[in-house]
Amino acid sequence: MWAHVVYVAFLVFLGYFLILIGFYIFLAIFGFIEDKKREWEREEENYPLVYFSDLTIPVSIIIPAHNEEVWIRDSVMSLLNLNYPAYEVIIVDDGSTDGTFPILKEMLDLKAMDIIYTKHYKDGDVINILKSAKYPNISVIHKLGGMKKAGAVNAGLNLSKYDYVCVMDADTILEQDALIKVMAQIGREPDKVIGIGSAFGLSNGMKIKDGRIINRSFSTDPLIAYQNLEYIRSFIGNRLAWSKFNTMPNVAGGFGVWRKDILYELGGFSSYFTCEDIELTFRVHDYIARNKEKGYKILMMPYYVGWTEGPSNVTSLIKQRDRWQRVVIETVWQYKHMLCNPKYKGFGFLVYPYFILYEVLGVFFEVASIAFVTVGWITRQLDTNTFFAFLSLMALTQFILSLLCLHTFVRGQKVFKTGYTIYLLFLSSIEFFFYRPIISIAKLFGTYHYMKGVRIYDQYTRVKR
């Protein structure tokens, strides 16, 4: 009997990893094709024409900030340096208890503004709306916390005046050409593109002054380097491929542009969930399918548009990934009707099963398969040869995934120097043994906290610079 159970379990785990390899190859191939197309488009686009055209679409940039005293100055300065002809910046101080608001007040010379403020979107309690006396296109909403990032973004939406909104994190430093690259893409088909995201990396290790990156040295701390690798896998290796089939599952909260009419239809961001970005993207897909809207696109761009701070110690990393795992499960559960539903086409048949298999259940398969072979080996149900063969399979699967993504990344980007890329290559070869266990632990915590009903947005502590 026990031997039979072991046999079936072994088959299941082996099958899982083979399906995973199939998914990786599929994503890598289409990610590569999409990356190549976008890179060519970028090279050939006439950005000065976009910059000087009256028809270039103005954008409202919304930055929700909660206790961001470490980054807020540079983040705002990076926005002032943007090469874009028409944009407004709305910073939402979401109940900060640190120096965020005083910093904003001092650097922007804020003055209270009497304004008609319509609450189209649920935003919580707004204390005051202020305008910068120095920079006429910057406004600050001072509000009480309590409705998570979603409430803060909704407050920004209520004040925003343009048809496209760019939502970004307060610890993100944007590249000068970030907005023009992304909006040029939207400008081609403004009637179709309703959401767009783009890649960004980690700013840890960089020297930043007044919102400008003065030294692009990437951190060699393995924990940071592994996160850089993960970002490449996520943005370049994964979402680009989904974007090709118009099934992009997540316009990241760190940088994403949305057309406001779709947000209006959906009532803005939802504070019911732990995080807001992935849930909103799923909701948009749901809305489009339910209303049989045709021709709409949610795109992912491979351009590195900005840099954000990543957790610099294991505890913070676990805290962050715990939160990410929770929101993934919350979203997958909320939109369970999409699974293999013909109405949702590729989203229902590919993205959703991928999310269940890899994002939700993946950690259980990984942990259970390791536990299974280890226990089997210790109890002498499995011989040593099988034990090592199976472990090698798991480690190599992980390594090949990274390699495929790095290939696409190196072809299109000149973000990292050759030495750093080789360093990432080396780290990815041993990721399964060192970094992967940390992420698995975080995901298990996330699942456990989800089961317990935890829905808080627990921000990790920013490192003083």
In the complex, least distance from residue 36 CB atom to another protein, rounded to whole angstroms: 8
Residue 85 engages another protein in binding (rule: CB under 8 A):
no
Residue 49 engages another protein in binding (rule: CB under 8 A):
yes
In the complex, least distance from residue 358 CB atom to another protein, rounded to whole angstroms: 18
Residue closer to another protein (CB basis): 414 or 452 = 414
Instruction: For residue 61, list its beta bridge partners.
Output: 89, 166
Query: From the list 1, 114, 214, 342, which residue makes contact with another protein (rule: CB under 8 A)?
Result: 114
Residue 463 engages another protein in binding (rule: CB under 8 A):
no
In the complex, least distance from residue 89 CB atom to another protein, rounded to whole angstroms: 18
Residue closer to another protein (CB basis): 333 or 434 = 434
Helical (H) or strand (E) element with 402: helix 384-412
In the complex, least distance from residue 406 CB atom to another protein, rounded to whole angstroms: 6
Asked whether 197 and 255 are in contact (CB, 8 A), the reply is yes
Query: From the list 341, 397, 440, 459, which residue makes contact with another protein (rule: CB under 8 A)?
Result: 397
What are 367-371's contacts with CB under 8 Å, separation 24+?
367/440, 367/444, 368/13, 369/13, 369/16, 369/17, 369/394, 370/394
Helical (H) or strand (E) element with 28: helix 2-44
Asked whether 45 and 184 are in contact (CB, 8 A), the reply is yes
Alpha-helical segments (H) within 245-340: 260-266, 277-290, 314-334
CA gap 400, 406 in Å, rounded = 10
In the complex, least distance from residue 245 CB atom to another protein, rounded to whole angstroms: 17
Which has the closest alpha carbon to 275: 328, 218, 204?
328
In the range 167-196, which residues lie near another protein by CB under 8 A? 187-190
Which has the closest alpha carbon to 130: 104, 162, 94?
104
Indicate the SS3 state at residue 313. coil
In the range 335-394, which residues lie near another protein by CB under 8 A? 380-383, 385-386, 389-390, 392-393
Residue closer to another protein (CB basis): 389 or 451 = 389
Residue closer to another protein (CB basis): 142 or 323 = 142
Which has the closest alpha carbon to 462: 360, 312, 329, 351?
312
Query: From the list 98, 407, 430, 454, which residue makes contact with another protein (rule: CB under 8 A)?
Result: 407
Residue closer to another protein (CB basis): 231 or 273 = 231
Asked whether 65 and 167 are in contact (CB, 8 A), the reply is no
Residue 86 engages another protein in binding (rule: CB under 8 A):
no
Give how many residues touch another protein by CB under 8 A: 55
Residue closer to another protein (CB basis): 296 or 344 = 296
Asked whether 71 and 210 are in contact (CB, 8 A), the reply is no
Residue 23 engages another protein in binding (rule: CB under 8 A):
no
Part in contact with another protein (CB under 8 A); list of ranges 36-44, 89-97, 352-360, 441-449: 36-44
Residue closer to another protein (CB basis): 171 or 366 = 366
CA gap 271, 153 in Å, rounded = 10
Alpha-helical segments (H) within 148-221: 148-159, 178-188
Residue 1 engages another protein in binding (rule: CB under 8 A):
no
CA gap 205, 69 in Å, rounded = 18
Residue 315 engages another protein in binding (rule: CB under 8 A):
no
Give contact residues for another protein (rule: CB under 8 A). 3, 6-7, 10-11, 14, 18, 21, 37, 40-41, 43-46, 49, 52-56, 111-114, 116, 187-190, 380-383, 385-386, 389-390, 392-393, 396-397, 399-400, 403-404, 406-407, 410-411, 418, 421-422, 425, 429
